[in-house]
Structures are given as structure tokens and as C-alpha cells.
Amino acid sequence: MLKKTYNSYEKSGVNISAANSFVKHIAKLTKKNDQKRKAKNGLDNIGGFGSLFDISKSKIKDPVIVSCTDGVGTKIDLANKFKKFDTIGIDLVAMCVNDLIVQGATPLFFLDYIAVGNLKIKKVKKILKGILKGCKIAKCDLIGGETAEMPGVYEKDKFDLAGFSVGIVSKKKILSKQKVKKGNIILAIPSNGLHSNGFSLVRSIIKKNLIPNKLKKELLKPTKIYVNDILKLIKKNLLNSAAHITGGGLIENIVRSVPNNLTVNLDLSKIKTKKIFSWLKSKNVSENEMLKTFNCGVGFCLIVSKNKVNKVKMLFKGISKPYEIGHISKTKEKLKIINNIKW
């Protein structure tokens, strides 16, 4: 008589014991923050079905909740290629919280979603390490998330990430494009490299061209988190509007932060670009394609009143210091480009 064979979740490719082990690891890493939060507001997130966060103690008048969700795109493929997983989590946090602060919000908490073809504990621990580091830089709590093992949907070594962040801002402090006026100055805060956009084009180029060794480290350099710098400006009432330069590049993102009846004037010759962008441009990529795909050296834009420009600059040091790249005028055009980038 043949022995009866039973089907199981593990035989179908899902490792429950590995998932439980990872959950315990997360609980261990976040225990300190959870204990602080419980002592502060009496809420305990460990082992719950949902994540709790008490905003009643925020001391913000007329509070408005701001939420953002994002991923890191095909930069994940390069993380897999180079077997470097400890910084991609920083990218994930950065892409979300940098969007939050465009509207003046202080990040409160973050949730992650990690999807894998095969749950490899060592790999996801490194990813989580980056997420926690990003949250620490942004001064927000990682309060929950989901890790999904999906064999057949994702190849064995493949994974994807998504993040969700929530922030809070007083209704009177919301950054709105309606505050932008004719004569305002556009300041650029430098990026620290590619950040997390345009990687499908990057991957296409490096498949056909040997990237110089000195530029390889640029590929997985984590996205800069601008939270602390921008919140300082908001606290001192120095900003009218702002733009996070992500998908769509400089020319598509800056216009989103300006009313339709005003014109964005950009002098591209003032942009301090980086060697990685110059190298990519040299591989038969047009200037327009560069501008709508990459940040080209500008990670964040500030729109400020002319009489506040010096005060803004004084709050920054070194290579992070913002510099002028344009101004706001009133014409029939939405965007006016002056000169070209000095690649």
C-alpha cells in the first residue's frame, strides 16, 4: 500500500518557521522604541494585528495628517547584482519621508512591505537594518509592516520593497504652492548622487558600457534624507514651497510646486552636477532625457522669498548648502529653461 503524501505550505515554497524567526528578530530590534512609545502613550504594538500611534500628545494646533507611499524601483536589481542589501532600506525610507516634508509635515511613523520569492533571513535582516537606520535619520518610528514570501510570483532570489509613511503638520504650517509669488528665488539642495530614480536607464547603460570602478560605488549610494534640514526651515517660517526631485527629474517636479499662473525660470548652467551624471550623459543620452529622468545633482528645491535667501543658506553647512538656480516670474509659459548644464 502506498503511503499517503500530504500537501503543506512549506512544500509549496513558503517557510513559516523562517517567517516566524524574522518576526522575532524584528520585535527584538524594535523593542526599545516600542517600550519608549508604550511608556509615553500606553500603546503596545508588539504582536498586534494593527499598529497604534497616539497623536493626541503632538501639541500641534489644528493637526493635519499627511501620508506617502513609495518604493525604490529597479535599484533593487542592482542591490541583488552586487549582493549589497544594507542600504536599500535607507532608500525606501528616504523616498517616503522626503515627500512628506514637501508639505511641511514632520514624519511620525513608517511601515514597510517586503516581498520575496524565497525568504532568506540573512538578506532580509540586512534590508531591515537599512530601514531602521533610515527611520533613525528621519526621527520616525518603524511601527509595523509585512513580509510576504511568494514563490512563483517572484523568482527565488528576487524581492521588492514598498514603504508607507505618515506625518503631521499644523493646518497653518502646510507648505502650499499658493504661497509662491512672483520674484521668489529657487534654491537647489545638492543630491548625494542618483538617489532612487532612473535606474531602468542606468541598468540599460551599464549592460552595454563598462562603468569606471571609481563610479561603481555611486550606484548603490543611499538616497539623502532631507527631513531635519527642511524642518528647521519650516520652523523658522522660511519656506514658501518645496519640491523633492524624484521620478520626472528636475523639470517635471519643480513645476508641481508652483501655481499654474506663474513661471519657473531655471538657469541650468548653475547646477553643480556630479561625475556619475556626466558619465551617463556621455552614453548617448540627450540633455532633455537626463533632466526628466535624473535629479542631475539637485535632490531638493526650495522656493523662498528673496529677502529670506541668506537666512536659509546660513542654516546649512558644507556641501549641503543650497544655491540659487532660478526664480519665479509671470509669463504665459509654465517653465523657462535658461542655458544648459555644464556636464
Select from 172, 190, 218 the last residue of a domain.
172
Average pLDDT over residues 220-235: 96
**In a shared domain, residues 206 and 312:** yes
Select from 109, 139, 172 the last residue of a domain.
172
**In a shared domain, residues 100 and 191:** no
**In a shared domain, residues 95 and 232:** no
Q: Is 25 inside any structural domain?
A: yes
User: Is the pLDDT at 276 greater than 70, yes or no?
Assistant: yes
Average pLDDT over residues 120-139: 94
Question: Number of structural domains, the chain?
Answer: 2
**In a shared domain, residues 265 and 317:** yes
Report field, pTM of the whole predicted structure over 0.85: yes
**In a shared domain, residues 103 and 237:** no
**Cell 541598468 -> residue:** 203
Q: Where are the beta strands (DSSP E) in 230-338?
A: 241-244, 263-267, 298-304, 323-329, 335-338
SS3 content of the chain, % helix, strand, coil (to 5): 40, 20, 40
**In a shared domain, residues 195 and 130:** no
Confidence of residue 34 (pLDDT cuts 50, 70, 90): low
Q: What distance in Å separates the CA atoms of residue 168 and residue 107, rounded to the nearest whole number?
A: 7
Q: Give the model confidence (pLDDT) of 73-108 as tens digits.
A: 999 999 999 999 999 999 999 999 999 999 999 999
- Which residues, including other chains, have CB under 8 Å from residue 127's CB and lie 6 or more apart? 85, 86, 88, 89, 114, 159, 161
Q: Is 11 inside any structural domain?
A: no
**In a shared domain, residues 155 and 101:** yes
CATH of the domain at 307: 3.90.650.10
| Average pLDDT of the chain to the nearest whole number | 90
Average pLDDT over residues 303-311: 97
**Cell 509549496 -> residue:** 12
Q: What distance in Å separates the CA atoms of residue 42 and residue 35, rounded to the nearest whole number?
A: 9
- Which residues, including other chains, have CB under 8 Å from residue 264's CB and lie 6 or more apart? 186, 254, 255, 258, 326, 328, 334, 335, 336
**In a shared domain, residues 116 and 196:** no
Q: Is 8 inside any structural domain?
A: no
Q: What distance in Å separates the CA atoms of residue 250 and residue 252, rounded to the nearest whole number?
A: 6
List the domain range (segments joined by +) for residue 32: 16-47+58-172
**In a shared domain, residues 190 and 130:** no
Select from 172, 201, 220 the last residue of a domain.
172
**In a shared domain, residues 230 and 81:** no
**In a shared domain, residues 165 and 222:** no
